[in-house]
Amino acid sequence: MNNTLNAGNIFSGVFSVVMAVTGILNMILVHPVPGIIYLLLAIFYLPATNGWLSKKFNFPIPAVVKIILGIIIIMFTLGVSDLGDMIDKL
């Protein structure tokens, strides 16, 4: 596992927390299914997950894939999700 503190690990950790909070809000305010999906995606962004995949399967998740998936997730969350509509109504 990569325990160094660098920009990639900080980004992954912060985005993982954002995804977990989005998942919890979806579970409470919208529906449990998208909330569970967001929580699973939060696990995908944890730096420890990337280290585990590298160690176990010899396949790390490339940073470019994380960034592209993160942009798609943010656009989906704010654009077409029910949570985005609920935030707009506040």
Q: CA 83 → CA 5, 23, 40, 78, distances in Å? A: 33, 10, 17, 7
13 falls within a domain? yes
Count the domains in the chain.
1
61 falls within a domain? yes
CA distance 62 to 77: 23
Q: pLDDT, tens digit, for every residue of 43-59?
A: 888 888 878 888 888 87
56 falls within a domain? yes
31 falls within a domain? yes
User: Which residues span the domain enclosing 39?
Assistant: 7-89
Q: What is the 3-state secondary structure (H, E, C) of the chain?
A: CCCCCCHHHHHHHHHHHHHHHHHHHHHHHHCHHHHHHHHHHHHHHCHHHHHHHHHHHCCCCCHHHHHHHHHHHHHHHHHCCHHHHHHHHC
1 falls within a domain? no
Q: pLDDT, tens digit, for every residue of 12-34?
A: 888 889 889 988 988 888 888 88
pTM over 0.85: no
2 falls within a domain? no
